[in-house]
């Protein structure tokens, strides 16, 4: 009877220690990536569609139609007293309208990665470092003037 009682206590102790060790290992493994993200929780927001006019030789040729997504720090964005969409759209419009490398006949050759990186950098410069994690392109197309609704 004493042997059975000692065996039960020993088995319970081993089970408890194994459970504790597994829990500690799991908690330490999960908390390491969370610390790397610097306690930021990013959410993706979609901007409205903007139409950037393409003008050559004083004549309107058409429009580049753009819609962007951006990842912004959710907690910090709540504290802003303005909508950050306005800055994203303003930076995109300024960059596209004044970009001489934008050839509407060959949009597939346009450096979209460069555009998104520049918008991200300008947003972080304006709002604070790390506020915007990424800017993505949802839609990017060209519409000739003749096809534009009146």
Are the C-beta atoms of 65 and 144 separated by less than 8 Å? no
- Of 19-28, 63-72, 85-94, 127-136, the least confident: 19-28
- Is this prediction's pTM over 0.75? no
Q: Average pLDDT over the chain, rounded to whole?
A: 81
Predicted confidence band of residue 48 (pLDDT cuts 50, 70, 90):
very high
- Sequence-ordered list of residues with C-beta below 8 angstroms from that of 148, at least 6 positions apart, any chain: 62, 63
- Sequence-ordered list of residues with C-beta below 8 angstroms from that of 36, at least 6 positions apart, any chain: none
Using alpha carbons only, give the angle 113, 116, 122 rounded to the nearest 5 degrees.
140
Q: How many residues does the chain have?
A: 150
Predicted confidence band of residue 36 (pLDDT cuts 50, 70, 90):
very low
Provide the residue ranges of all domains of the chain, joining segments of one domain with +: 1-36, 42-147
Q: What's the pLDDT tens digit per position in 97-138? A: 877 777 666 666 777 888 889 888 988 888 888 888 899 988
Q: Tell me which of 1.20.120, 3.40.50, 2.60.120, 3.30.479 is the CATH number of domain 42-147.
A: 3.30.479
């Amino acid at each position: 009877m004493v042997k059975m009682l000692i065996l039960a206590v020993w088995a319970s102790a081993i089970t408890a220690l194994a459970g504790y060790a597994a829990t500690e290992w799991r908690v330490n493994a999960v908390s390491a990536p969370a610390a790397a993200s610097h306690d930021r929780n990013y959410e993706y927001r979609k901007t409205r569609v903007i139409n950037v006019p393409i003008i050559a030789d004083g004549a309107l040729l058409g429009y580049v139609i753009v819609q962007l997504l951006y990842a912004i720090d959710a907690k910090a964005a709540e504290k802003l007293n303005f909508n950050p969409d306005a800055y994203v759209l303003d930076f995109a419009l300024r960059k596209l309208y004044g970009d001489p490398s934008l050839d509407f006949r060959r949009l597939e050759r346009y450096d979209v990665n460069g555009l998104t990186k520049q918008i991200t950098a300008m947003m972080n410069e304006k709002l604070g470092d790390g506020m915007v994690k990424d800017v993505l392109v949802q839609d990017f197309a060209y519409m000739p003037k003749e096809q534009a609704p009146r």
